Structure 1
Amino acid sequence: MNSAHCAPPPADVVAANVAAALAEDIGPGDATAALLDDAADSAYLLCKEDCVVAGRPWFDACHRALDPDVRIDWRCEEGERIAKGTVIATLAGRNRALVSAERASLNFLQTLSGTATITARYVDAVRGTGAAILDTRKTLPGLRVAQKYAVRAGGGMNHRLALYDAVMLKENHIRAFGSVAAAIARARALHPALPLIVEVETLDELREALATGCTRVLIDDFDADARREAVRIAKGAPYHGRIPLEVSGGVDLAGLRAIAGDGVDCISVGALTKHVHAVDFSLKLGPPPRAD
C-alpha cells in the first residue's frame, strides 16, 4: 500500500461525488430494485483483472448512502496490487440497496483503480532512477480530487490541483511580459506565497528561469540531447540542482526509463488520468464461491 502518499480523500468531496452519481443513476427511484422484497442479503466484490485497487471511500459511501447499516468487509487495502479472480470485499445489507448502489459504486472503483494501476506501471518503470511521476490537470470533469487521490494510491505524486494553488508560467505568459525574468517577477509580486513553476522551451529560457529563481522548471518537448544538456546546466554550478527539473510532453511508457535516466527530477504524464482503462469488477449477490 502506498500509504506514504495516499492520505484519505476529503469527506465532503466524496459525499458530493457520490450524491451526484446516485442522483444521476437512481433519479426518482430504482424501478427494477423495487421488484425485490427488501430482505437482508449478502454480496461479494470480484476483481476480474490484475490491478491496483483504489476508490474504496467512494464505493463505501455509495452503499452507505442507501443503507447506513450495510456491513462492508474489505480483504485488501487501498493501493494494494490484486490478482485477477480475487474476492476483495464482502457486503451484508438490504438487497434493494445493494443492487441500487451497485453501478455507481463500481463506476468509482473501476475508474479510480484504472488510474492507480496505470500510475503504478509508470512508477515501476522509473524505479531506482530518483525521478518522481506526476499527474496533470487532464482529469475527468468533476473527478479531479478523486483521480489525483488514485494517482497517489498508485505511487505517483500530484502536480498542482487547480489554477489557484500554484502559478505556472507558460509560453503565452512569457510572451505577454516579454521575458521569463519579467514574468517571474510579476508572479512573485502578485502571489509571493504560491509555488511557481516555469515552463521553458529553450536552454536560454532555462538559464533565465534558474537565474531568476522559481520552485520548479518544466522543460517542455525537449529532445534527448537538449534534455541532457538541461540537466547538466541545472545540476552544475552555480545552481547545483537547487531547482528541480520536470519533463512534460510526449511521454509514454516505452521511452520513460530513458528520460528518467537522464537525471530529471520528475516527469508529468497526462495519460495517468486522461486515458482511463476501467478495471473490471463485478458485484454479485450471495456468498463468495468457495476456493477449490
Structure 2
Amino acid sequence: MNPVITKQTIERFLIEDLGFGDPSTQMFAAQKIKGQFVAKQTGLLCGQAIPQQVYDCLGAATYTPLLAEGSPVLPGTVIGTVVGDAGVLLAGERTILNLMQHMSGIATTTQTAVQTLADPEIKIADTRKTTPGLRIFDKYAVTVGGGYNHRLGLDHGIMLKDNHIAAAGSLTAAVTKARQYAGPMMQIEVEVETKAQVLEAVAAKADIIMLDNQKPETIKTWCRLIPPSIITEASGGITLANLATYRHCAATFISLGFLTNAVQPLDLSFYLEGVIKA
C-alpha cells in the first residue's frame, strides 16, 4: 500500500470518528499503558501496518506486530502489542479494528476462493466493486489472500462493456475508437456474451476478452476460439458455492466481486492491560 495515500485516508477516517475530540479519554491525559490486539476467529491476518499508521496520526504509541502479514490466526491468537498514551490507544482503537477486521475478512475470503478453485493455471482477481474510500485497503487485502488485482480504477485500463458497445454502434467500432485514445501501455478489454461477439472481439484484436455470465463448459469451448496472445477473463454469476466447477475452464483469470463487496469481517479485539473478560 502507498503510505502517502493510506495516511491521508486514515486521517479522514479519524476526523470522521473523533470530531472535536474524544471526551471519554481526556481524563487519562498522557498516562502510559500497554495493550494487545487479539484474534477471536479463525482466518487470515491482514493490516499489520494499520495500527502504527493510526497512532502516528494521534500521538505517542508504538505498535509491535507479533505475526507476519498474511499469517493464519486462531481464536485467542495475540497478533500485536502496543505501548503508549492511554488516550491515543483508546481514540485509535475503533479505526484500527474497523480496518483490520475488514481487510482480514477480505484476505480470508480470497484465500478460501483460491483454495476452492484449486487451479494454479487460473488466477483469482477482484473487481472495482469496493466501498468508496476503502479501495486501496480492499485491493491490498486481496493480494494478501493470494489473489490478484483487476483495474485499480477507471484509469488503469479500457474496458468496453455492453453500454460502451451500444454507444459506439458495434463491438468492432468500440475497439477501433478505443485504439485512437489508448496509449502504448493501455490494454483494451471487451465484454462478450455470445459466440459471435467472441469472434468479433478476436478479429478486432482486443487485448482481453471477458466471457460474461457463462457456464464453465461454454467458457472452455469459447477459449478454444481465442488465440493464446489474448487474455481471457471469466466473470459474472460465480460464487464460492459454484467456483469449483470453473476449475480447468481455461480462462486466464476469474474476477469475483464478492471478494470485496460481500465482506464478512474477521473478529478482532483490543484489550488494555488489566482488562477482565468473562
**TM-score, length basis structure 1:** 0.90
**Gaps in structure 2 of 5+ consecutive residues:** none
- Equivalent residue for 1:270, pick from 246, 257, 263: 257
- Residue type of the alignment partner of 2:262: H
C-alpha displacement of 1:275: 0.5
Structure 1 partner of 2:268:
281
Closer/same/farther in 2, CA of residues 32 and 286 from structure 1, 3 Å limit: same
Distance 2:249 2:135 in 1: 30
**Other-structure match for 2:193:** 201
CA contact under 8 A between 1:44 and 1:288: conserved in structure 2? no
* Equivalent residue number for residue 162 of structure 2: 171
Cα pair distance change 1:205/1:91, threshold 3 Å: same
- 1:81 and 2:75 aligned: no
Aligned to 1:55: 47
CA distance in 2, matches of 1:81, 1:217: 35
Residue in structure 2 matched with residue 211 of structure 1 by the alignment: 203
The aligned residue for residue 82 of structure 2 is 91
* Structure 1 residues 141-180: Cα deviation after superposition (integer angstroms, max 9, x where no partner): 1111111011111111000111112100011111222322
Q: Which runs of 4+ in 1 moved over 6 A?
A: none
Letter in 2 for 1:189: Q
Separation (CA, whole Å) in 2 of partners of 1:158 and 1:260: 20
Give the conservation status (yes or no) of the 8 Å contact 2:55–2:62.
Answer: no
State the 1:287 CA deviation. 7.1
Post-superposition CA distance 1:170-208 (Å, at most 9, x none):
111112223222111110111133111110111111111
Distance across 2 between alignment mates of 1:16 and 1:263:
41
Percent of aligned pairs sharing the same letter: 33
Structure 2 partner of 1:4: none
Question: What is the rounded CA distance, in whole Å, between the counterparts of 1:47 and 1:139 in structure 2?
Answer: 24
**Residue 196 and residue 287 in structure 1: after superposition, are their counterparts in 2 closer, same or farther (change >3 A)?**
farther
The answer for the alignment partner of 2:130 in structure 1 is 139
Query: Is contact 2:119-2:248 (8 Å) kept?
Result: no
- The question of 1:183 aligning with 2:174 is answered yes
Question: Is the contact between residue 118 and residue 247 of structure 2 (CA under 8 Å) also seen in structure 1?
Answer: no
8 Å contact from structure 2 (residues 119, 247) kept in 1: no
Q: Could you say which residue in structure 2 is the equivalent of 1:64?
A: 56
State which drifts further: 76-85 or 198-207: 76-85
Q: RMSD of the alignment, in Å?
A: 1.6
Amino acid at match of 1:49: Q
Deviation for aligned residue 1:122: 0.6
| Distance apart, 1:58 and its partner CA | 2.4
AA aligned to 1:191 is A
Could you report, residue by residue, the CA deviation over 1:91-143 in whole angstroms, capped at 9, with x for unpaired residues? 11111111111111111111111111111111111233411011011101111
Aligned residue in 2 for 1:6: none
**Can you give the 5+ residue segments of structure 1 that lack an aligned partner in the other structure?**
1-8
**Cα gap change, 1:61 to 1:232, in 2 (>3 Å):** same
1:256 and 2:243 matched:
yes
| Shift of residue 288, structure 1, vs aligned partner | 9.7
The DSSP-based 3-state class of the residue aligned with 2:247 is helix
Question: 2:180 & 2:129 partners in 1: Cα distance?
Answer: 28
1:80 deviation in Å? 1.6
Alignment partner of 1:39 out of 16, 21, 31: 31
Q: CA deviation at 1:37?
A: 4.5
Could you tell me how far 1:72 is from its partner in structure 2? 1.2
What is the TM-score when the length of structure 2 is the normalising length? 0.94
For 1:171 and 1:114, the matched residues in 2 are separated by: 32
Q: Distance in 1 between matches of 2:74 and 2:188?
A: 41
* Contact in 2 for aligned 1:120/1:155 (Cα 8 Å): yes
The number of aligned residues is 275
1:226 pairs with 2:218: yes
